[in-house]
Each structure stands twice: as C-alpha cells, then as structure tokens.
Amino acid sequence: MPTAELNGTSIFYTVVGDGPPCLVMHGGLGLDHHYMHPFLDDLGDVLQLVYYDVRGNGSSGRPDPATITHAQLVEDAVALADHLGAERVSVLGHSYGGFIALELALAHPERVGNLILVDTGPTGPDPQVTLANARRKGATAAMVEMLTSAVDDNQGFAEWLRVVAPLYFHHYDEKVANRLLGGCILGVEGMAAPGETRRYDVTARLNEIRAPTLILAGDDDFILPPDHARRLHEGIPGSRLEIFEACGHLPWAEARDAFFGVLRDWLPTSTATSP
C-alpha cells in the first residue's frame, strides 16, 4: 500500500474508485481507516475514496505526539491532496475526522469541493452528556468506569474499546463490531496533543463554510448526539441534514441502505453546485 512523505512523517493511504477524489478522515483518534474501509467502498463508483491514517495513527508514521494538532492535521490533508495531484477534493469526515474536515474547510476553502460530515459536531463531546447518554442506554458499571477513567497504554485502550463498544451502536452485534473494529491498529500515541479537543470550537465560524455540505447522524449516538448535527446544519449555509432512526455512531453499519441512499441522492446535486 502506498505511503507519502509529508510534513516530516509518512502518511499511509489506499485508494478505491475512479470518481472525483474524496479524502476519508477517520475518527478516534487512536484508531485508523480500517473501520471505514472496505465498508464505504460501495461509493467507489461515484467517488475516488482516499482512505488514510492521520499522523501517529494506524500505519502512518510516529512523529512527535506534540505535532498531532488540528492545524497540523489540516496541513497534512492539504499535502496529501497535493501529493495526489488534486487541486480540490471532497472530504468525508467521521467523528474526530469531522473536526479536521471542518477545520480544513475553514482554513483552505478553495481546496474543498464537497463536505460530508458524519456523526460529528462543531465542538468536541461533553463528558457529562456522554456519561448521561451512556447511562440512558443501560451502561454497565464497567462501562461507566471506563468512561470516567484515563487510558494510558495500548492494552488499556484495547480493553476500553472492548468494554465500551456496545454504546456506539443502537442494536449491538458483537460480530458486526468485530468486523468493523477488529482490523484497526490501536494506539494511544496517535491521540491528539493535550488540549486540542478541549479547545476545538468552530461554532462561530460555521457561516463561513461555502462548500456544499451534507450532515449525517444517528439518532442514538451517545458520544456526539444529533444536537451536534443540528448545530452544524443551523450554522452552515445551504447544508442538508439527515438523521437516521435506530442508529448509533456508525450509520454505514446500522442504517446502511439509508446512509448510501442519501449520499447517492445528494452527490450529483452537490457536484453540480460546487464552486
């Protein structure tokens, strides 16, 4: 699989499809692209999906963790687009990847054609809301303990994910979860530099976004609940919002037909209206 030497580190990526290029930004951080690939590959007939692992994550390089900032991740995305020879790209950001997608659209509006935001928001998760939602969903004592404890190493992170994974779904299926997450390279060293998530807040700048924007969310997302999506929709001019019923944080797994249907319906219109 190809890697690109960008901004002092190596960025792993893989390409599926022949349409207009689309950077696929994974969440976490501390995960990688495997929970999205090959599960989004059906879009390869309308987009060229460029799955990649952000610096410090997955199969990408391990630079100084202090460089894993939103600003640097934005510049890495621009550098990857340059490496691919793409003046303009669509961007699909899920969860934390949506934070970087939004920051990219604000910092380099000329480089973003279409913006697809999946279960993300203009601010990071509120720990108290997350905990309340987890309890509403029937969180066990072990889940609550994990959600209120720090993760210091990769073994602890793997255990955290194993225990908490059911909360990310509306109807949890262990086989589905293992298929999605089992291939991920986990790494606490890939998490954002201290303070980045806490400082993240693009609410006041959403009205600056001009790229055609599609916002997708599950109605039972416990960590970035749909009010985040509604705030994005209210702030981004001309955006489209779709909230999937009986769906958690991973709509391509729990609302597959609706998820792909909305995307396929929206993409031709958005492509036609992109600047």
Per residue in 159-194, pLDDT (tens digit) is 999 999 999 999 999 999 999 999 999 999 999 999
Average pLDDT, stretch 12-24?
Answer: 96
- Residue 194 contacts residue 219 (beta carbons within 8 Å): no
Q: Is position 153 within any domain?
A: no
Using one digit for the tens of pLDDT, what is the confidence trace for 115-155? 999 999 999 999 999 999 999 999 999 999 999 999 999 99
> Is 133 within the bounds of a domain?
no
Residue 201: strand, helix, or coil:
strand
- In 3-state terms, what secondary structure has residue 92? strand
- The two three-digit tokens of residue 225, written as one number: 């609940």
155 found inside a domain: no
Confidence of residue 271 (pLDDT cuts 50, 70, 90): low
- Look up the CATH number of the domain holding residue 262: 3.40.50.1820
The tally of domains found in the chain comes to: 1
Q: Is residue 142 part of a domain?
A: no
Edge-to-edge strands, sheet with 112-118: 3-6, 9-16, 48-52, 21-25, 89-94, 112-118, 213-218, 240-244
Q: What does the pLDDT average to over 227-256?
A: 98
The boundaries of the domain holding residue 32 are 3-125+186-273
Q: pLDDT tens across 87-121, in order?
A: 999 999 999 999 999 999 999 999 999 999 999 99
Is 168 among the domain residues? Answer: no
Does pLDDT of 274 surpass 60? Answer: no
Is 163 part of a structural domain of the chain? no
Instruction: Give the pLDDT confidence of 20-68 residue by residue, as tens digits.
Output: 999 999 999 999 999 999 999 999 999 999 999 999 999 999 999 999 9
Residue 262 located in a structural domain: yes
Residue 213 counted as domain residue: yes
